[in-house]
Structure 1
Amino acid sequence: MTFTEKLQALRQLMLVQNVDAYIITAADPHISEYLPAHYKAIPFACGFTGSAGTLVITQDFAGLWTDSRYFTQAETQLNGSGYELVKLKVPHTPEYINWLLEILPKGAKVGFNYELITVALALEMQDSLAQREIGITDVDFINTIWLDRVGLPQGNAFLIDEEAAGFAISAKINQVRAALKISKADYHLISSLDDMAWQFNLRGNDVDYNPVTLSFALISPEEVKLFIDQQKLSQVDINTLTEQGVTLHPYGEVANALQNLPKAPRVFIDPKRTCFRLFKCLPVDSKIISGINPSTHLKGLKNNTEIKHIRKAMLHDGIALTRFFKWMEDHLGKEKITEWSAAEKLATFRAEQASFVGLSFNTIAGYNANGALPHYSVTAESDQEILGDGLFLVDSGGQYLYGTTDITRLMPIGNCSSTQADDYTLVLKGLIEGSKLIFPEGTKGYQIDSICRKPLWEHAINFGHGTGHGIGFFLNVHEGPQNISPANVDIAFKPGMVTSIEPGIYRPTQHGVRIENLVLCIPHGSSEFGDFLTFETLTLCFIDTAIINKTLLAPDQIKWLNQYNQQVFHQLQPHLSTEEAAWLKVKCRPI
């Protein structure tokens, strides 16, 4: 079926079941950012492959609501699909709710799959639409027309030991139980896969790039139930879980377990990371306690063991990146190198490192205009040869048994324009200002965000994505609870949080600039004004100085850059060949 034929089939099902608007979300029952193939309904329906978007279909209109990261990509991928791009004014907001209120008549019905929408969003939609007596209903039209839909993933899962994780499973359960006691909850439902991974020292390969496995958990003061396909686990791991006080149950039995909770249970859920269908399974007399999963807060604070391992991952990642950029410089102009082949070559250098598991996300390798797409994904059609003059942007990361990496670097190719040099330098200024920041305890990400953007704002330049996100320990490349963005997220930075800093400048059809490091929040010291924090940069890869406009940098920024590049050289040099070390020494020369 073509996309237009699929749209026609969906509209026919809507007519049959009296559904006036049908919503398709980018989600799975665990409200994951990255989805198993079974749940990639939006690419199936319209061809759009971005990680954030919502389809809304009526008999007269079909649209994709997405944010500025994907405007150009969406316009290309939606061409001829029957869907139109609707540009979100504010990222991650359900602006289509107001649109539905405007165009639907009183008494209309809006359908969506309750399994693929958060409790928070479903309740917001239900309450908002009720203003015009518009109802909601649980329907899954996609499954009806997706005749060759793949099944749920069946990859193996495994436990990482206490030596790697820093804490035993039972210790983590006790930490969560302590939080539940404070909130006076009888039960805690965990749906989010990265929280499941942290809670049970559990890893898997059910989702590309994210070492997680499909599972749920129900924790009470008396017992811990883990809902998972036991065939994914070895007998040794099953025995370990049992010894740690965990009972195993089939993956599909979580709904039944919720329906059979005792009378009037007090249940703690994260309404932004729990699906509406499971919420509807809870007894009607349940007392719902809403909040961020306790494990999310605990997971975000890396323990000393995790930090030690993360440093090791950064070292190995830096070795791979050094070899890659040297290879690029040595071979450009001598053989054909494209965005695709460069990304593949980088993956081979990472694969040579000890304990490498896989990539942490699909490598963004964009030359010139393609680099202006923040979430560019090279295809056979878009693959561009890296030749001539310009900027080659590489945003990439690796999953290691001892950590997760995420880094962006720019490689100048040939002769670069003054505009490219200025953009590069301004983005670097933003990175440096965030990296060397000293700030009081209680500082939130939106406050740090403005400091990173200030060098760009001074030139009337801005960018449409957040400045930074939390990152997992051999886990998801994006994790909370903290971030650095304009959004008013009420989470203060604390020692142990690992976060990216990645400002950017994007000039459509010309070039894109982004430079990204990972930083660890650490104590800085105390004074009569309170306790202060700062960042330690963890990423180990040189920042190219070839096209820097030095006149745009302040002396303290130049000092930071020189010290950082020298640190990179001194830490990587012992692990490189003589030739590689000599090359890196030149790249790290002070300016």
Structure 2
Amino acid sequence: MSSYSDRLKALREQLKADRLDGFVVPLTDEHMSEYVGEYAQRLAWLTGFQGSAGNAVVLPEEAAIFTDGRYTLQVREQVDGKDWQYVPVPQESISGWLSEHAPQGGRIGYDPWLHTRAWVKEAKKALAERGADLVPVPRNPIDAVWADHPAPSPAKLEVQSDMAAGRSSADKRAEIADWLAERKADAVVLSALDSIAWAFNIRGTDVVHTPVALSYAIVHADGTADLFVAPEKVTDAVAQHLGNAVRVQDRATFGDALTRFAGKRVAADPERAVAAIFDGLDAGGAKVLSVRDPVVLAKALKNPAEIAGHRAAQSRDGAAIVRFLRWVSETAPKGGLTELDCVARLLEFRQQTGVLRDTSFDTISAAGGHGASPHYRVDEASNAELKPGQLYLVDSGGQYEDGTTDITRVLPIGEPTAEMRDRFTRVLKGHIAIDTALWPEGVTGGQLDSFARRPLWEVGLDYAHGTGHGVGAYLSVHEGPQRISTPNYPGSGATEPLRAGMICSNEPGYYKAGEYGIRIENLVLIVEKPVEDRTVLGFETLTFAPIERDLIEPALLTPDELAWLNAYHARVLEMIGPQLDGEDKAWLERKCAPIG
């Protein structure tokens, strides 16, 4: 269709044909994934929004798109305000908006394979206040009007070696069986793609940036399992790897399989399993246990092999980042360098490692005012030149078979202003506060979050995103259950206790609309640390690349903070220096020289 307005009009016509007075469009797939395959990009197809989190509602006379603070600027650039209302979350919710805008007595459609059961319950209650009803649809109406709708990826499954995984799939399934026995349950449904990939030591290329395969799994109390995946995706090597204890079933039969547990106790995750899964289990007479997927925490607690792999990946990635930062710092002042040029060049540096499998998300390459949108995604239409007087923010990551990386750095193009140095140094102080934090067992990410914000709060400033997210081991760059964030930040995790073995990001920031953005991000591993006669928890830094010295105002740093910075840079030089030579190494030595 010729325009997004035409697509919206076509959807409204389809809703009318389906006897619906509205439809809810989430940005997810049947697995509640953050990043989804091309076939599931319904929100982007309908609205033009390219962010990684959002929802929309279409009614006969109005339409709204819901995004959080990370996308306040981006959604206005990408989505036409003549067709769509911009609704901020968590200040407002879809259910709350529907309770005020849905037609009296109307029928609002939803795809039960794209929403949780809790959301369905909440939305039904809100609509009932207007005498309206929430109606499950047998076919997503967007698919009916999306003429060139892509098919799901046909890519083959890949084996993740036991050496890289650190544990065999049989061992992991035995642990899940023990978990089931403790709950007197017969089976557990795994629907999150990264949970399945971890439990079966398989990977895939069905979803950009995340090495997973479109599949479902049911693990039984005896440690056997049914893996539901398109049969043509399973090679002989994968079949041999899975063994006789894993029965491969066609993914298309998963819905029917859910109805065959009459009288059985079956566990399913209310956050990660969609409403249709619970509907199928209920319809078949299963006794459903709504509990968290047992893989979630096990996957977050990295074993020694995964930790060693992460360290290797971070070191390798750091060398690529240093080469890139030097290139930008020397090329941008000459003029003509664009955001897309930087994306391409950074990819080249990572590819030169010879082992890059993918990027871990779309590189955020943001010059000037674009940096004020925390999740800005450059395209041909928005591509801007890096100009003198600007800050350049680059947030990027790589997927390597031994680890997943995520790092943000900021460079000044020319001379930064005093305000830029002040804000950057306050963000750095918050970053150091997180990195050096110590805490007893049981402390949550929500309790640590304010450490990072205090230097900004002291001058009346803040940032509208979390301070840290979990990271997988050659899996999702955004992994739960842990999160360092304020409790009201979208998504769960702020109340999850932080445990040894978890990997988090440490990424406070500051954003001035229309002018610049600042974020300093490293990945950190939670480890045990001795303090006097007891053991507490703290962080071990995993990411090594210089923090831009020309943006630091040393007078704002305490002696301890300055000592941290100089020690960090000494470690960067120790870790990355041997991988470089010539001008790259000389540049790094200058950037890592002690300050003060």
How would you bin the TM-score normalised by the shorter chain? over 0.9
The answer on whether the counterparts of 2:427 and 2:520 sit within 8 Å (CA) in structure 1 is yes
* Alignment partners' CA distance in 2, 1:501 and 1:246: 38
Question: Is 1:20 the counterpart of 2:15 in the alignment?
Answer: no
The answer on whether the counterparts of 2:487 and 2:495 sit within 8 Å (CA) in structure 1 is no
* Alignment partners' CA distance in 2, 1:461 and 1:517: 22
Which one-letter code corresponds to 1:19 in the other structure?
L
Counterparts of 1:85-164 in structure 2, within 5 Å, are 85-90=86-91, 95-104=93-102, 107-139=105-137, 140-164=140-164
Match of 1:491 in 2: 496
Cα distance per residue 1:248-291 (max 9 Å; x no partner): 11111111111122x22211111111111222111443222112
The answer on whether the counterparts of 1:258 and 1:281 sit within 8 Å (CA) in structure 2 is yes
Correspondence for 1:523 among 492, 509, 528: 528
Match of 2:438 in 1: 438
Moved over 6 A (4+): none
* Alignment partners' CA distance in 1, 2:80 and 2:463: 26
Deviation of residue 584 (structure 1)? 0.9
Cα distance per residue 1:141-199 (max 9 Å; x no partner): 11111111011111122011111100000001111122222233211011111111111
Match of 1:376 in 2: 376
Question: Is 1:267 the counterpart of 2:272 in the alignment?
Answer: no
Counterparts of 1:497-516 in structure 2, within 5 Å, are 497-516=502-521
Cα distance per residue 1:25-71 (max 9 Å; x no partner): 11111111111110111111111111111111112211101111112
TM-score by length of 2: 0.95
* Alignment partners' CA distance in 1, 2:238 and 2:101: 54
Which one-letter code corresponds to 1:109 in the other structure?
R
The answer on whether the counterparts of 1:351 and 1:358 sit within 8 Å (CA) in structure 2 is no
* Alignment partners' CA distance in 2, 1:82 and 1:582: 53
Give structure 2 stretches of 5+ with no counterpart. Answer: 489-493
Cα distance per residue 1:382-405 (max 9 Å; x no partner): 211113122110100001110000
* Alignment partners' CA distance in 1, 2:73 and 2:48: 14
* Alignment partners' CA distance in 2, 1:78 and 1:581: 44
Which one-letter code corresponds to 1:496 in the other structure?
G
The answer on whether the counterparts of 2:55 and 2:66 sit within 8 Å (CA) in structure 1 is yes
* Alignment partners' CA distance in 2, 1:450 and 1:297: 24
TM-score by length of 1: 0.96
Counterparts of 1:274-313 in structure 2, within 5 Å, are 274-284=273-283, 285-313=285-313
User: Number of matched residues?
Assistant: 585
Which one-letter code corresponds to 2:37 in the other structure?
P
What SS is found at the alignment partner of 1:116? coil
* Alignment partners' CA distance in 2, 1:234 and 1:228: 12
CA RMSD of aligned residues (A): 1.6
Which one-letter code corresponds to 1:428 in the other structure?
L
* Alignment partners' CA distance in 2, 1:233 and 1:103: 47
Question: Higher mean Cα deviation, 364-373 or 322-331?
Answer: 322-331
Question: Is 1:41 the counterpart of 2:42 in the alignment?
Answer: yes
Cα distance per residue 1:497-519 (max 9 Å; x no partner): 00001001000111100000000
Match of 2:318 in 1: 318
Which one-letter code corresponds to 2:100 in the other structure?
E
Match of 1:68 in 2: 69
Question: Higher mean Cα deviation, 312-321 or 482-491?
Answer: 482-491
* Alignment partners' CA distance in 2, 1:288 and 1:133: 30
* Alignment partners' CA distance in 1, 2:500 and 2:292: 19
Question: Is 1:586 the counterpart of 2:590 in the alignment?
Answer: yes
Which one-letter code corresponds to 1:71 in the other structure?
T
Which one-letter code corresponds to 1:291 in the other structure?
V
Match of 2:85 in 1: 84
Deviation of residue 106 (structure 1)? 5.3
* Alignment partners' CA distance in 2, 1:564 and 1:371: 25
The answer on whether the counterparts of 1:78 and 1:84 sit within 8 Å (CA) in structure 2 is no
* Alignment partners' CA distance in 1, 2:11 and 2:446: 41
Which one-letter code corresponds to 1:537 in the other structure?
T
Give structure 1 stretches of 5+ with no counterpart. Answer: none
What SS is found at the alignment partner of 1:409? strand
Question: Higher mean Cα deviation, 338-347 or 277-286?
Answer: 277-286
Which one-letter code corresponds to 1:344 in the other structure?
A
* Alignment partners' CA distance in 1, 2:58 and 2:309: 47
Which one-letter code corresponds to 1:119 in the other structure?
R
Match of 1:183 in 2: 183
Question: Is 1:234 the counterpart of 2:248 in the alignment?
Answer: no
Which one-letter code corresponds to 1:170 in the other structure?
A
Which one-letter code corresponds to 1:522 in the other structure?
V
* Alignment partners' CA distance in 1, 2:531 and 2:315: 31
The answer on whether the counterparts of 2:570 and 2:592 sit within 8 Å (CA) in structure 1 is yes
The answer on whether the counterparts of 2:54 and 2:67 sit within 8 Å (CA) in structure 1 is yes
